[in-house]
Structure 1
Amino acid sequence: MMKQLIFVGLFLVCALLSNGQVSFANLENYRTEWLILRENNNSLVGIRSFTTNTVKYYLTVDPTTLQTRIVGDRSVSVLYNDAAQVTKSLSGSVYESCFSLVRKTENNLQDAGLNFRLPKEAGINLTIDLCPSHKPLDRAIFEDLLAAFKGIDRSLPLAVSVSGKWMLNHAADLAWLKSLDAKGVKITWVNHTYDHVFTSNPLTSNFLLSKNTNLGYEVLENEKLMLKNGLLPSVFFRCPGLVSDRRIIEQLLSYGLIAVGSDAWLAKGQQAKNGSIVLIHGNGNEEVGVQDFIRLLRTKSQAIKTKHWTLYSLSEGLDQESH
């Protein structure tokens, strides 16, 4: 009986770790890694390590599905720790192919990274940005989504790009977002930097291109804050303002992160098409984009009811794009 209880307990802990529902309040020694880890017969890419209460953990990426998980170091072994060997072993994987896709647009001032339609089927990839704001979360986005898909889809995947300054000032809204998991809303948590620096400067010296911006700090401090709040950082990264340059993109890749742009920023008048990566802001500062999205939902109501229009997660379709 005791063995059964221990097994059940371990199973529940593993499930919670996979879903990012465990808060690592005492997180220490957070660092970047580039490892191939072995878990049973599966290979994972270790991109971060940290300790909490003297136990070591890894933030890992499945190179085929791009799903991230937190795993304890006792459940894995290090297969490769040489950077060149790790990169070589990933050759032909979906993860490695995404690096190649991102590099095709890395010289863009705006919208570098994944900025094309995927998968090219009936539906969209919804990304909701939470930049720093004194206004409350625009909950209507999520409530209208749940109403539109009620009784049709039990799982609604979407991505939320969250900034550190937003998390620090919106504890109740963040708790509400996390509670949506029980209602079937499956959130991919995307790093949107800690400070989300924004000035009145031209784009070439704004956002992440602002003077004295420390990208390592912006990335890693936000990941730490996400983990402390029970969020599982994904492999995706959303540049503030979609602004970057080659140096930024290459540094993100060195952290194992895939930049996500958008081909349909609704507030800018860009139209959502099948497979579009749609961008709206849920921080209360972009009412036009939110209303455009709600109108889009209404125009697709019949297609939703007949299951001819749906939501996709960001990782869907990348396996086809990469070959």
Structure 2
Amino acid sequence: MRRVLVLLLWACIAGAATARGEDRPCSSVALIPGPAPTGARVRDYAPIFELCAKESVLRLAIRRMNVDGTPLLLTVDPQSLQTSLERAACWRCEATSDAAQAETRYLKALHPPPDPTRPPALANAGLIHGAGGGAFVTGDLCPSRKPLDRAFFEELAAQGPRTPVMLAVSGGWIARHGADFAWLREKARSGALDIAWANHSYSHPYVRRLPDGRNYFLRPGVDVDREIFETEKLIIAEGETPSVFFRFPGLVADAALLGNVRSRHLIALGADSWLALGLRPRPGAIVLVHPNGNEPVGIKLFLRLMQTGVMPSPLRPINEAP
């Protein structure tokens, strides 16, 4: 508690100095896509866990980086789970720990208590059902040669302004679908959709007909940190902000992989309503479809559920699920 008070006192002093023009401006960070490669724009990318203060605001920083020559932090609001990119020079930070932040909503979501009714399994790793009613709509954008299924997003936008959707995006999909990604960004900028960008790995490793226990992230040689961080860097270079959610390729992971992802302060996310597998949504469902062109049956089912009023409502932001 004393450390928190010291940070807040420093932040108030720093805020007063900024108001008098004695410190660097602390305006919001707005990145735009550029022609330079991601590696040239986003440098010195590193995982951290720090408690940071600015004026009367406290955040948890989980990444430090340099973007286009400016030191930045990827921060998390410990109660709302909202992420933001912030100028490092504007915050006073010190190292913290999961134990020190254990009572925050963020850490409780990161380290949920064991569920005795759910036996350990490789499939569907992570949070699979949300709190409360309605539905949490999520779409996976795995690497694909097919165009984005825009009808899915148009149906969402037709529900009203800023309809929430979480997109678990792979770096490989972004690299191949620049125009589709720009179209999605415009949907968010226009207020038609409220998109949370989750991490779905970079390469989405998968070998057809290989058993789950030796496939996806469980294949020998998969560099988990690279799969996570390269995707985050690409999302940032494209002008967006990564969320705190991670979805394993195939939704497959063992206990060691879950621990690895949580050590990077990402909340593993599964689903209890993968529509293409016939898993129909109930109140609080985390709904999964693949609008990357690879799963038309799931998209058709989603459209039917929406148009017939069977989908639980309202559609809710994924930050409200844990």
Question: Normalising to structure 1: TM-score of the pair?
Answer: 0.85
The 8 Å contact of residues 236 and 259 in structure 1, kept in 2 or not, is answered as yes
Residue of structure 1 aligned with 2:170, choices 163, 174, 189: 163
User: Any residues of structure 2 matched to 1:1-323 within 5 Å, and which?
Assistant: 13-14=27-28, 17=30, 22-23=32-33, 26-78=41-93, 80-81=94-95, 85-101=96-112, 104=115, 107-116=120-129, 118-121=130-133, 123-147=134-158, 149=159, 153-181=160-188, 182-200=190-208, 201-300=210-309, 309-318=313-322
Partners of 2:277 and 2:284 lie apart in 1 by: 18
Q: What letter matches 1:309 in structure 2? A: S
The 8 Å contact of residues 131 and 321 in structure 2, kept in 1 or not, is answered as yes
Partners of 1:103 and 1:222 lie apart in 2 by: 29
What SS class does the counterpart of residue 87 from structure 1 fall into?
coil
Partners of 2:69 and 2:193 lie apart in 1 by: 33
Partners of 2:171 and 2:119 lie apart in 1 by: 25
Partners of 1:224 and 1:50 lie apart in 2 by: 9
Structure-2 change in CA distance of 1:137 and 1:213 (3 Å): same
Please report how far the alpha carbon of residue 57 of structure 1 lies from its aligned counterpart in structure 2 after TM superposition: 0.6
Unmatched segments (≥5 aa) in structure 1: 319-323
Tell me the number of residue pairs that the alignment of Structure 1 and Structure 2 aligns: 292
What SS class does the counterpart of residue 99 from structure 2 fall into?
helix
1:208-263 CA distance string (max 9 Å, x none) = 11111010110001111111111210000011100001111101111000000000
The 8 Å contact of residues 101 and 113 in structure 1, kept in 2 or not, is answered as no
The residue number in structure 1 matching 2:12 is: none
Q: What letter matches 1:113 in structure 2? A: G
Structure with a larger share of its residues in helix: 1
What SS class does the counterpart of residue 319 from structure 2 fall into?
coil
The 8 Å contact of residues 136 and 321 in structure 2, kept in 1 or not, is answered as no
- Please report the RMSD computed on the Cα atoms of aligned residues, expressed in angstroms: 2.3
Partners of 1:268 and 1:156 lie apart in 2 by: 25
Identity over the aligned pairs, expressed in percent? 33
Please report how far the alpha carbon of residue 89 of structure 1 lies from its aligned counterpart in structure 2 after TM superposition: 2.7
Partners of 1:221 and 1:210 lie apart in 2 by: 19
Which segment drifts farther, 261-270 or 138-147? 138-147
Please report how far the alpha carbon of residue 184 of structure 1 lies from its aligned counterpart in structure 2 after TM superposition: 2.5
Structure-2 change in CA distance of 1:189 and 1:297 (3 Å): same
Structure-2 change in CA distance of 1:54 and 1:128 (3 Å): same
